[in-house]
Structure 1
Amino acid sequence: MAGHSKWANIKRQKARVDAKKGKTFTQLSRAIIVAARNGLPDPDGNFQLRTAIEKAKSAGIPNENIERAIAKGAGTYNDDDSILEEIRYEGYGIGGVAVLIEALTDNRNRTAADIRAAFSKNGGNLGETGCVSWMFEQKGVIVIEGELEEDSLLEVCLNADAQSYEIIDEEDYQGAEIFTSVETLEQVNSFFQNQGFNVKETELRWIPNNYIEINDPEQTKFLLRLMDALESLDDVQNVTANFDILD
């Protein structure tokens, strides 16, 4: 919708403007742990792990920290007794906005308390499991940087069996986001790389099936503060919401 921004767009812009809003070392290291736990501890044979390592290196995490995180995920690191759990939290922001949170924690009571506090301080409330997840669908997302010709992009998307794309044409940024099924993400990513596209990032993302339009400045303020508060928590890996606000 012209003149509006969804949370994914706002998040991308905020990350470019303020690097401090990016993922912390703890969050990036935990993403490596999850990837190594869910597949092979070898990035050559584990696409999720390879992507997590690339993000960590881009953020300046030392190789020894990356290797330690891989070992923790593989269960071969003996100097750490903490057990990390993957938990998904769900809730509502002001205006009935659905919020989906993916966390990785060694203390679920602490994490739940922190997330509940973020909601309550910003006009929302933490809900029960399943209260909003039905409004989202998990997809693969490939972020491409650079000026693109839409006809050529469409042709490559069709040949790569991608589901859809969204052109990003902003004053200080040009590129596109390519959407795929979870199962075909690695295949489509390889296709785009082989075609010479500048693939900046590849990830799994929860995509809302519908959006709530927010036009009230006060509600906008509370929603953005809520998202910042949630993303600042070390235990939180990803946050997605279904609001669409006036720029």
Structure 2
Amino acid sequence: MSGHSKWSSIKRQKGVNDAKRGALFTKLAREIITAARQGGGDVDANYRLRMAVDKAKSNSMPAENIKRAIEKAAGSGADAEQYEEVSYEGIGPANVAVIVAAMTDNRNRTASEIRAVFSKMGGSLAPVAWQFAHKGVISLPLNGRDSDELTLAAIDAGASDVSPPDGGAIVVLTEPGDLEAVRRTLAAAGYEADSAELSMEPTTRVEIGDERTAKQVLMFTERLENLEDVQNVYANFDIPGELLERLEAQVA
């Protein structure tokens, strides 16, 4: 798991205040609306929608909000909400490679806001996608079970890679088209996932060893994540666990 993924997990565990929760729910609703509009409102028949709904539930989004977002996808005319999926690539502090995924109803506004964050933090837009691979990512909690047991089960289910245990879970990587099949196979064997989603996983990493640089890089990615149109930020930095723990204590 990259340093950015670890930090995102820490922030989820810490929770969010009401203002940030409202912004998060808006982003989650956009994912649900877009998925439902593309593949229909049946979560059993639309895997992308099911992933979006599962993500919303894991972030404590109320069921009524989820239902309303799915219903909005069926709207037309003035009630319709249309979002375009766009992505931007660039280099941030410490030469960290970043891919920013957004959903927007105004591409010019989104590009301007993202470019401003890169510029303010000493970065720039540039091609970096070659430093990432499109993967399915499944988080499997150990729940007291042996990590070797889960690793073998994941490999048998069709995983392309499995990470060592970290924070009470293992991370299973799949090819994008295999994500749902692997998740279902694991669930049928009694291994329920905490989360399953498509991601851009780094193939090269920038090691961050000092606190000052780590803070700068984390501030950069958080500023991007706080933009209204940004859904996901993928970055290739890696911060040692002990340094992340120190930073976690500072935001406690």
Same fold per TM (> 0.5)? yes
1:58-102 per-residue CA deviation (whole Å, 9 max, x = no partner) reads 4343444323322444x4344435431100011111121100010
Structure 2 CA distance for aligned equivalents of residues 35 and 71 of structure 1: 12
Q: Does residue 224 of structure 2 align to residue 230 of structure 1? A: yes
Q: Which residue of 2 aligns with 1:37?
A: 37
| 1:206 aligned residue (169, 177, 200) | 200
| 2:128 aligned residue (112, 127, 132) | 132
> For structure 1, which segment, 117-126 or 194-203, has the greater mean C-alpha deviation from structure 2 after superposition?
117-126
Q: Which residue of 1 aligns with 2:246?
A: none
Normalized per residue, the structure richer in strand is 1
Q: Secondary structure at the match of 2:85?
A: strand
Counterpart code for 1:95: A
Structure 2 CA distance for aligned equivalents of residues 80 and 222 of structure 1: 41
What value does the CA root-mean-square deviation take over the aligned residues?
2.2
* 1:81–1:150 Cα change, 3 Å: closer
Q: Does residue 11 of structure 2 align to residue 25 of structure 1? A: no
* Counterpart contact for 2:93–2:220, Cα < 8 Å: no
Normalized per residue, the structure richer in helix is 2
What's the CA shift for 1:240?
A: 0.6
Q: Which residue of 2 aligns with 1:185?
A: 179
Q: Which residue of 1 aligns with 2:139?
A: 143
Structure 2 CA distance for aligned equivalents of residues 149 and 63 of structure 1: 34
* Counterpart contact for 1:98–1:242, Cα < 8 Å: yes
What's the CA shift for 1:236?
A: 0.7
Counterpart code for 2:155: L
Structure 2 CA distance for aligned equivalents of residues 168 and 11 of structure 1: 17
Q: TM-score, normalised by structure 1?
A: 0.87
What's the CA shift for 1:7?
A: 1.6
Structure 2 CA distance for aligned equivalents of residues 162 and 6 of structure 1: 22
1:8-63 per-residue CA deviation (whole Å, 9 max, x = no partner) reads 12221222124347771111001112212332321110111012112223434344
* 1:155–1:216 Cα change, 3 Å: closer
Q: Which residue of 2 aligns with 1:242?
A: 236
Q: Does residue 106 of structure 2 align to residue 112 of structure 1? A: no
Structure 1: tracts of 5 or more residues without a match: none
Counting aligned pairs with the same residue, the percent is 41
Structure 2: tracts of 5 or more residues without a match: 244-252
Structure 2 CA distance for aligned equivalents of residues 14 and 147 of structure 1: 24
Structure 2 CA distance for aligned equivalents of residues 225 and 13 of structure 1: 14
What's the CA shift for 1:185?
A: 0.5
Structure 1 CA distance for aligned equivalents of residues 60 and 210 of structure 2: 39
Q: Which residue of 2 aligns with 1:80?
A: 79
* 1:63–1:150 Cα change, 3 Å: closer
What's the CA shift for 1:151?
A: 2.4
